[in-house]
Structure 1
Amino acid sequence: MRPIPTALLLGLILLPARAQAPTDAIRLNQIGFYPNAPKEAVVTGPPAEDTFHVLRVATGDTVYTGTLGPSRHWTLSGESMRRADFSSLRTPGAYVLDVPGLGRSHAFVINEAVHRPVAVAALKGYYFQRASTALDAAHAGIWARPAGHPDDRVMVHPSAASPARPAGTILAAPRGWYDAGDYNKYVVNSGISTYTLLALYEHYPALATALKTNIPESGNDVPDVLDEALWNIRWMLAMQDPHDGGVYHKLTTPGFEGAVMPHQATQPRYVVQKGTAATLDFAAVMAQAARLYDDFPSTFPGLADSLRTAALAAWHWARTRPDIPYVQGAMNQAFDPDIHTGEYGDSNLSDEWAWAAAELAVTLEADSFLTVASPLDAAPDVPWWGGVRMLGWYTLLHHRQALAAALDTNSLKQRFLDFAGTLASARTPYGTVMGHEAGHFVWGSNSVAANQGMLLMQAFRLTADSTYLWAALSNLDYLLGRNATGYSFVTGYGDRTPMHPHHRPSQADGIAAPVPGLLAGGPNPGRQDGCTYPSTLAARAYVDDWCSYASNEIAINWNAPLVYLAAAIEATLAGIAAPTSHEPDDLGAVLPPRLLPPYPNPAREEARLPFVLPVPEEVRLEAFDLLGRRVAAWPARTYPPGRHHVTWSLAGLPGGLYLIRLTSGARAYTHRLLKVQP
């Protein structure tokens, strides 16, 4: 059955069922639900009876009646609540939930592609964060704005001075995304953010390609998610010192700008101190990006090679400077001007080493990186900007077939699933994974929910066990309204959404509605901003106020896992890239066509050249020597989905390095094979 356009269903939210104002006593996903997935709401306050009803919006007639679950109390929100489960209602349409004595919920839809608009909007949020360019009305609508921060005359701060670039040197580092509600650009936070968007394409290429966001690059032969990520990658490349490979920690003004538009923010800007965390995060992202942009050699000629070169240069810089933290207070004691913007300081760099090693090992097909920093040296945990080890695990698990000889991938997988299983089994009275520990409610707590969901989707990809899928979906429900604040935390998506986020363009543009598609930080009992909150309880410590940068700011590292989570669930439940076995990527169900590493390698007399196809496709295999001469070719033919290989006899070939190329449509994939003499 073709999905009904969500916009059309939302357009059906009219009288009579809509005549009542929605009550805050019913919390649910304000966007909606998939027909064949769980559907739950949480009811707070005493109902008049034990039943609830689901009404069709257009007519007001009752289509489902159910019984509320038992009352449960949640200390972190100070509430008693009952859950309403209407999972067996599967008919697409627009509905409200009615609880006698309490009222009616926000309207929602049931639809096969229900979260596609959220995924698109959250990805489009990065376009609205672009620096160094004007946003025109054709792409930004009412949020069009003049260009700000060309960043073509950025000064080298004394903390970043080197013989080749002394203090005061002028350099250019344009593009990139504004990091959060402020106008600065930070390599460390860009690292996890860019990785996550690239991982969406690597893990779910069909769905990622289908996400059209109406950006200036839309319509080329590159998925919008890769075009958007490249806007930031090109800035990151400019943050590497070409003389030594080190990477500046951030590009920043000395202090935060006021609530003005980007073109009105004119403080001088600096690149500050090179550090090991920034350099390793950079190395990881460049290595990851190299293997993905390799798919588009005609659109981006030479880009993948440049990214690999940059990644290696950063790695070599870090190897000679393995533990240089960024400590802003100490820096300010030694150098002028003082810098008082976001620190992103990190005293434990072992996770950055592990992540960079994993990405370089996979991209360069060299397990020596894993001997420098083993990914197995620490326990798994939900990633965040200061804890990125798990990003390396995701990459190693995704490419585990190619790494089996270099790494105990069975142990890696089992340790990961043990952790994911514990996470999936822990639920709050709201039925969400998010919030089952008080420690989840920190600055940017909504990114905790989204990153938990991303992690659980990796477990689902490994096992096809729906336990993980429904656990991940519970956290998307949390972000979109099934939480103790009653907010859908994504601007513009839901009935009750943040209207006053701590986001300078949204505050200064004179438009009532904030820029859409941005994820607010979420409940934070630390309340570091000193604003007045309606509650200090952990799960409710949120206020929709510009003042509240501790709970209501936006940030690129919060939006990224939201993009991934919404899109990954959409890919699975809307029928794109859905796993078909207990080892889905073994048969290519979630991989693009891919040439796998040849084996044995080195080889003496013959080698196997394996590859994976997700759909029936014509492919061509060729081998070249280092002078570019073709030394072997296999006839182009159409193969069925699955894993295949051809056997290459090396008899008569001299010893040396050969390049294997698989061509599939307009894309080409390469691997290296070393032949040694018998």
Structure 2
Amino acid sequence: MKATLFFRKLSLFFRQIYRPQKQWIFASLCVISAIAVVVFGGCGALQSSSLAAPPSILVDQFGYRPGDAKVAVIQQASATTEDDPSLYAHLTDTFQIVRVDNPAAPVYTGQAELWEAGKIHPQSGDRVAWFDFSTVQTPGEYVIQNTRTGDASAPFAIAEDVYQNVLIAATRMYYYQRSGFDKVPPYADARWADGAAYLGPGQDTEARFVDDKENAELERDMRGGWFDAGDTNKYVTFASPPIHQLLDAYTQNPAVWTDDFNIPESNNGIPDILDEVRYELDWFQRMQDDDGGVFIKLGTLDYNDARPPSQDRRPRFYAPKCSSSTIDVASTFAHAALVFRDFPELQPLADTLEQRSLQAWNWFNRHPVQTECDTQEIKAGDADRDPVTQLGSAILAAVYLSELQDDPQFDNYIREHFRETRPFNESLGVLYASSVVDGLTIYSQSATAPADIQAAVKTELSQLLFEQLPIFFQHSLTLDPYRAFMPDPQYHWGSNAVKSRFGNINHVISSSTDNAQKSQQYTEQALGYLHYLHGVNPLGIVYLTNMYEDGAEYSANEMFHKWFGGGIYDNAQTSSSGPAPGYVTGGPNKNYTGPAEGVVDQPPMRTYLDRNDTELLMWEITEPSIAYQAPYIQLLSSF
């Protein structure tokens, strides 16, 4: 892996030197081949401090698995119908694949094919062609070159484990988001070290009730958990879906979840993803009252954050118990108990979580559904959930409790209510309640579920996935020249999370069919969404922060984040530290309301700025979130 990163960084250095020359690739790669024999080590000094324009040849900048489809996108950006043909002549040129370590011997040569006969794609404003090089399967480091112009793609790898380092970086985002926990070497890079936050007087170990601030008798220890997003507040209802998705990511492909992600719990015999989930669940337990109800959120009363978080001295407050937070905890505790019980070391915790889940379930069923628990006096997001969302959480709780408890009430609840959940009642409900789809899929495969209820769930799921979804689910590769179709309205706040969910639903469909051809189609479609996030998009950007040391050539340099969004962390290319790596940014937002000129005038896929400015309201575009990170991790870990 060190050799791979060496070649990538050195190739980037020479690319910036030789970019004006049409044959830069041969000069640069020959030098790389020679130097690599005698030089091997860090290349940080070679990393450019300025960001060059992305190339016209777009690839997944991390790479591809050997047996997967591999299609580069050749781009004419921001095209018009009046363009002279010379401006897009490169779209139908001949391209070749060359190995970084042997550039004089191309391994594949072929011609690109226009998408839709050269039609301008309305969602991006681009003309595009595809260059299919799927037959190249030998592991190694490659670039794609235009044989006429010399233009070249970013370097990329072909390897079975090509995404493992990316997965580690993306998962470690949760470690950096830990509240009340020291982030220090060797687990934190020294550039992003900080002491434990919010453990001072009046903070998380002695949080006060927001509706009775002077009552010391109501102080509670609510330390731990993850910062929600760019802010440092903590919301039970915002954290529940990510926990489900991370647990699903583990159960869908446990082999990739090793015990060496370099977090403090590494090498304890438990996959690090489960250790990270445990950290959040410990906080969930502190948010649960003795009667089973769960307080909905914890945070500050203003926006006067300190950087880094350990310097923040503001008091912290918790909001009331609510039906939404309580049923979310019931579902996550039951799900975690089901996963954890397979590890002898975690059996006592699994038993505790199971009992706490039952307490929360009973509290939820004794109280009315509440939708106005969060007055938002505690800043900033509204943690309330509508009744349909709470019903989905109740279905999830019933699914996982039915696996843990020999009690027909849970199966009966599923029988009576599963058709009322969002996936079955909204055209794109599978995207906004994807954990419900995952949970019902598990139930449809259960060895203990009553046969009649299970058959009903299986039938309804099959009809939903194969007959009732919008037709574009069957054509996501061809409807979008960037091979990751999404309707215009979904390019909203947090659109990158929606892209990931599209990929995850395609993976569910692929895993749910016995038709090998359809399975392959939906797997390829799922990969299309992953490649989009890795650089096969109109901006040619990897929508993860500061991934240069993991192989990206053009990565998100900035994000709106109260810790990593300014000062020495401001920009990955120009600041001394830059933001921590692996954070998924919000994504293009056609509904952006800030003052940055020209953003909303762009086609939907281009409504993005690589900025973090508060005055530009960049939280609407580049703010990360634990809720954006989890669906991406679930998608990435599938491959």
Specify if TM > 0.5.
Answer: yes
Deviations 1:105-147 (A, max 9, x none): 2111111211111111111111111110111110011211111
Task: Tell me which of 627, 630, 636 is aligned to 1:557.
Answer: 627
Pair 1:152 & 2:193 matched: no
**Equivalent pair of 2:441/2:458 in contact (CA under 8 Å):** no
In structure 2, the gaps of 5 or more residues are 20-52, 77-87, 570-574
**Equivalent pair of 1:126/1:556 in contact (CA under 8 Å):** yes
Deviations 1:450-479 (A, max 9, x none): 122222222223336212211111110011
Question: Residue 541 of structure 1 corresponds to which residue in structure 2?
Answer: 607
Letter in 2 for 1:30: Q
Equivalent residues in 2 for 1:485-496, closer than 5 Å: 485-493=539-547, 494-496=552-554
Separation of aligned partners in 1, 2:450 and 2:610: 47
**Secondary structure of the corresponding residue to residue 611 of structure 2:** coil
Pair 1:8 & 2:3 matched: yes
Question: Residue 362 of structure 1 corresponds to which residue in structure 2?
Answer: 403
In structure 1, the gaps of 5 or more residues are 333-337, 570-678
Question: Residue 366 of structure 2 corresponds to which residue in structure 1?
Answer: 320
Which stretch of the first structure deviates more once superposed, 341-350 or 147-156? 341-350
Question: Residue 582 of structure 2 corresponds to which residue in structure 1?
Answer: 517
Judging changes above 3 Å, is the alpha-carbon distance between structure 1 residues 398 and 27 closer, same or farther for their aligned structure 2 residues?
Answer: farther
Pair 1:483 & 2:537 matched: yes
**Secondary structure of the corresponding residue to residue 506 of structure 1:** coil
Separation of aligned partners in 2, 1:51 and 1:108: 19
Question: Residue 28 of structure 1 corresponds to which residue in structure 2?
Answer: 59
Equivalent pairs, count: 550
Which stretch of the first structure deviates more once superposed, 46-55 or 134-143? 46-55
Letter in 1 for 2:401: L
Separation of aligned partners in 1, 2:520 and 2:408: 33
Judging changes above 3 Å, is the alpha-carbon distance between structure 1 residues 39 and 430 closer, same or farther for their aligned structure 2 residues?
Answer: farther
Deviations 1:231-277 (A, max 9, x none): 000001111111x2111111111123436211122221111022222
Task: Tell me which of 218, 221, 226 is aligned to 1:177.
Answer: 226
**Equivalent pair of 1:259/1:507 in contact (CA under 8 Å):** no
Judging changes above 3 Å, is the alpha-carbon distance between structure 1 residues 283 and 389 closer, same or farther for their aligned structure 2 residues?
Answer: same
Judging changes above 3 Å, is the alpha-carbon distance between structure 1 residues 383 and 363 closer, same or farther for their aligned structure 2 residues?
Answer: farther
Pair 1:348 & 2:391 matched: no
Deviations 1:152-184 (A, max 9, x none): 11111218x9xxx97871110111111111101
Judging changes above 3 Å, is the alpha-carbon distance between structure 1 residues 345 and 526 closer, same or farther for their aligned structure 2 residues?
Answer: farther
Separation of aligned partners in 2, 1:533 and 1:274: 43
Separation of aligned partners in 1, 2:591 and 2:100: 40
Letter in 2 for 1:215: I
**Secondary structure of the corresponding residue to residue 245 of structure 2:** helix
Question: Residue 121 of structure 1 corresponds to which residue in structure 2?
Answer: 169
Question: Residue 627 of structure 1 corresponds to which residue in structure 2?
Answer: none
Which stretch of the first structure deviates more once superposed, 174-183 or 414-423? 414-423
Question: Residue 86 of structure 1 corresponds to which residue in structure 2?
Answer: 133
Question: Residue 604 of structure 1 corresponds to which residue in structure 2?
Answer: none
CA displacement at 1:403 relative to structure 2: 4.8
Letter in 2 for 1:544: D
Separation of aligned partners in 2, 1:325 and 1:460: 36
Separation of aligned partners in 2, 1:102 and 1:157: 63
Judging changes above 3 Å, is the alpha-carbon distance between structure 1 residues 397 and 188 closer, same or farther for their aligned structure 2 residues?
Answer: same
Root-mean-square deviation (Å): 2.6
Letter in 2 for 1:214: N
Question: Residue 286 of structure 2 corresponds to which residue in structure 1?
Answer: 238
Separation of aligned partners in 2, 1:120 and 1:398: 30
Task: Tell me which of 219, 241, 251 is aligned to 1:202.
Answer: 251
More helix by share: 2
Separation of aligned partners in 2, 1:528 and 1:365: 51
Pair 1:438 & 2:488 matched: yes
Task: Tell me which of 289, 301, 305 is aligned to 2:351.
Answer: 305
**Equivalent pair of 1:10/1:94 in contact (CA under 8 Å):** no
Separation of aligned partners in 1, 2:218 and 2:438: 35
Separation of aligned partners in 2, 1:60 and 1:533: 41
CA displacement at 1:506 relative to structure 2: 1.4
**Secondary structure of the corresponding residue to residue 81 of structure 1:** strand
Equivalent residues in 2 for 1:210-609, closer than 5 Å: 210=258, 212-242=260-290, 244-258=291-305, 260-297=307-344, 299-300=345-346, 302-326=348-372, 328=374, 331=375, 338-349=377-388, 350-373=391-414, 374-378=417-421, 379-380=423-424, 381=428, 388-399=435-446, 402-408=449-455, 409-418=457-466, 422=471, 423-427=473-477, 430-431=480-481, 434-463=484-513, 465-493=519-547, 494-508=552-566, 510-511=568-569, 512=575, 513-532=578-597, 534=599, 536-547=602-613, 548-569=618-639
**Secondary structure of the corresponding residue to residue 387 of structure 2:** coil
Deviations 1:585-637 (A, max 9, x none): xxxxxxxxxxxxxxxxxxxxxxxxxxxxxxxxxxxxxxxxxxxxxxxxxxxxx
**Equivalent pair of 2:129/2:481 in contact (CA under 8 Å):** no
Q: TM-score of the superposition, structure 1-length normalised?
A: 0.76
Judging changes above 3 Å, is the alpha-carbon distance between structure 1 residues 343 and 258 closer, same or farther for their aligned structure 2 residues?
Answer: same
More strand by share: 1
**Equivalent pair of 1:430/1:483 in contact (CA under 8 Å):** no
* Percent identity of equivalent pairs: 28
Equivalent residues in 2 for 1:26-105, closer than 5 Å: 26-45=57-76, 46-48=88-90, 49-61=92-104, 62-70=106-114, 71-99=118-146, 100-101=148-149, 103-105=151-153
Deviations 1:561-601 (A, max 9, x none): 111111111xxxxxxxxxxxxxxxxxxxxxxxxxxxxxxxx
Judging changes above 3 Å, is the alpha-carbon distance between structure 1 residues 561 and 154 closer, same or farther for their aligned structure 2 residues?
Answer: same
**Secondary structure of the corresponding residue to residue 74 of structure 1:** coil
Separation of aligned partners in 2, 1:420 and 1:211: 38
**Equivalent pair of 2:233/2:379 in contact (CA under 8 Å):** no
Question: Residue 141 of structure 1 corresponds to which residue in structure 2?
Answer: 189
Which stretch of the first structure deviates more once superposed, 523-532 or 109-118? 523-532
Judging changes above 3 Å, is the alpha-carbon distance between structure 1 residues 80 and 313 closer, same or farther for their aligned structure 2 residues?
Answer: same
**Equivalent pair of 1:500/1:514 in contact (CA under 8 Å):** yes
**Equivalent pair of 2:434/2:501 in contact (CA under 8 Å):** no
Deviations 1:393-443 (A, max 9, x none): 243245367453542243144124315795243335545564331122111
